Amino acid sequence: MICDIQSEKEFDEKVGGAEGWVLLDFFASWCRPCKMMVPVLEKADEAMQGEVAFCRLDVDALEDLAEPFHLVGVPTFILFRGGMEKGRIVGYHDSQTFLEKLRGLMAEG
């Protein structure tokens, strides 16, 4: 199940305080590629259940949380482990490509 980060406290608990893998989707409600990635994320969440926690953060609603990550655009997916950034995936990707990129980042990290 994909969680929505609604506050700094939730971010600290679900991303910063997590020991395992967490993929955080930085998105905007007005962004068409972000909307197109929702089913891709849902498939990835299903395929990697137990391996990675999937979360989303609206960059407009939580601008102060998003700003320190110096995002070039949305959607941007940042993979964390133990609260540390391990890699990024930027833009729209089909399900297969997205899973390949995510697994590649996990193998490196």
Angle between helices 32-47 and 95-108 (to 10 degrees): 60
CA distance 96 to 68: 30
Q: Choose, from 15, 34, 65, 79, the residue flagged as catalytic.
A: 34
* Catalytic residue chosen out of the listed positions 31, 48, 99, 106: 31
Q: Which residues are CB-neighbours of 70 under 8 A, at least 6 positions away?
A: none
Q: Is 31 a catalytic residue?
A: yes
DSSP 58: E
34 catalytic, yes or no?
A: yes
The catalytic residues are: 31, 34
